């Protein structure tokens, strides 16, 4: 039975029996499968453009132990080191600048000899301009504070109403 696989390969758990008779020199071939990686492709949910700067944790499914951390490059791709065959969870920990964090826990199955590919999209942040006005004279009111939430109730941040500053004319 194999007790240690070469680096980058999955150990063979199969028991190999060989019968040896006098004068014979049997040849035994034991195959190991190469560990494969997870390729994460990060894209804009509106345009489909690839996005740089998204950070991910890759966790073992059964233990939730973090086994890899990676960040998408200029091409919008992040690739883990080779991983043993098994089930993993991929979680985005930092969204690219200008995008909403994807909080989905993506299940990925790593198989023998073929990289797993995960495509994750992010919605761009949109700007909100809030103008608070008086009910008496429709004049803008400055300094009202608002909490911005998703439809599901998750807090995205705060905003403060403002008015345009009008400077006196200098003659």
Residues 43 and 118 in one domain: yes
Question: 165 falls in which pLDDT band (50, 70, 90)?
Answer: very low
**For residues 92-108, average pLDDT:** 94
Residues 100 and 134 in one domain: no
Q: Is 89:107 a contact under the CB 8 Å cutoff?
A: yes
Phi and psi torsions of 62, nearest 5°:
-75, -30
Q: C-alpha 90: how far from its chain's center?
A: 6
Beta strand 38-44 pairing with 116-122: parallel
Nearest to 86 by CA among 144, 159, 35: 35
Asked whether residue 75 is domain-assigned, the answer is yes
Residue predicted with more confidence, 53 or 6: 53
Residue numbers of the domain that contains 61 = 38-122
pLDDT tens, 11-62? 777 777 888 888 888 888 877 777 789 999 999 998 999 999 999 999 999 9
Query: Per-residue pLDDT for 144 more than 60?
Result: yes
Q: Is 28:20 a contact under the CB 8 Å cutoff?
A: no
Residues 109 and 151 in one domain: no
Q: What is the rounded (10 degree) CA torsion for 39, 40, 46, 47?
A: -40
Residues 141 and 107 in one domain: no
CATH for 72: 2.60.40.10
- If one counts the domains in the chain, the total is 2
List the beta bridge partners of residue 60: 88
Prediction pTM value: 0.62
Asked whether residue 144 is domain-assigned, the answer is yes
pLDDT tens, 68-94? 999 999 999 999 999 988 999 999 999
Query: Per-residue pLDDT for 9 more than 90?
Result: no
Asked whether residue 131 is domain-assigned, the answer is yes
Residues 51 and 92 in one domain: yes
Residues 95 and 50 in one domain: yes
Query: Per-residue pLDDT for 137 more than 60?
Result: yes
Residues 110 and 146 in one domain: no
Query: Per-residue pLDDT for 104 more than 90?
Result: yes
Residue carrying the six token digits 């008779």? 21
């Amino acid at each position: 039975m194999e007790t240690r696989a070469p680096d980058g390969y999955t150990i063979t758990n199969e028991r190999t029996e060989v019968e040896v008779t006098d004068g014979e020199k049997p040849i035994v071939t034991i195959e190991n499968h190469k560990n494969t990686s997870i390729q994460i492709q990060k894209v804009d949910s509106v345009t489909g453009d690839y996005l740089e700067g998204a950070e991910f944790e890759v966790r073992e499914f059964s233990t939730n132990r973090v086994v890899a951390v990676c960040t998408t490059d200029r091409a919008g791709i992040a690739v883990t080191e080779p991983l043993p065959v098994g089930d993993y969870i991929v979680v985005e920990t930092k969204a690219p600048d200008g995008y909403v964090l994807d909080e989905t826990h993506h299940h990925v199955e790593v198989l023998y000899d073929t990289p797993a590919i995960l495509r994750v999209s992010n919605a761009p942040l949109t700007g909100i301009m809030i103008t608070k006005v008086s009910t008496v004279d429709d004049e803008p009111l400055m300094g009202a504070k608002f909490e911005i939430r998703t439809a599901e109730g998750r807090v995205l941040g705060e905003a403060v109403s403002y008015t345009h500053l009008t400077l006196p004319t200098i003659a």
